Amino acid sequence: MSYFANAGQILIEFVFGILVGLIVLRVLLQLVRANFHNPICQFLYKASNPILMPLRRVIPAWRRLDIAGVVLAWALLLLKRVLIFAMMPVMPSFAGLVVIAFADLISFVLMLMLILILVRVILSFVGSDSYHPVVPLVYQLTEPVL
């Protein structure tokens, strides 16, 4: 791979990581019924709403799970893998890309939960009576797991 391909891969991973992070956080916040008056929740809602609303008209939610958000996150990861593999000389089959994107989604969610749990542990040592909007959000997201 050339130097420009490496830079392109880093840029693709960064941009798609941010987009998937916004969507996955929104899905998780809806799943745990987080307080949407929190400024961080408001930002996530406003940032992901233009992308997610057209898809929600086609794919409805199931109970508390926003299936449109999950499908969008999976599709973004699939597009990321297609773009990355397009820079390489060998392209896997479409079925392989679908499986890789699904594994990427599971890996992303597990890594996000691990980071949130570590942040909660650090907050428990430092003192959690801070009035920062991240503190209640971290507690709400990690409470079902712990």
> For 68-110, what is each residue's pLDDT tens digit?
999 999 999 999 999 999 988 888 899 999 999 999 999 999 9
Q: How many CA atoms lie within 13 A of 45 on its CB side?
A: 11
Average pLDDT, the chain: 91
Question: Which sequence spans correspond to the domains of the chain?
Answer: 3-142
Taking only the tens place, the pLDDT of each residue in 131-146 is 888 999 999 999 999 8
Residue 130: predicted pLDDT: 74
Residue 1: which pLDDT band, with cuts at 50, 70 and 90?
Answer: low
Report the alpha-carbon distance of residue 94 to residue 119 in Å, rounded.
37
Query: Distance between CA atoms of 43 and 137, rounded to whole angstroms?
Result: 13
Q: Which two tokens stand for residue 145?
A: 């797991």
Rg of the chain, C-alpha, whole Å: 17
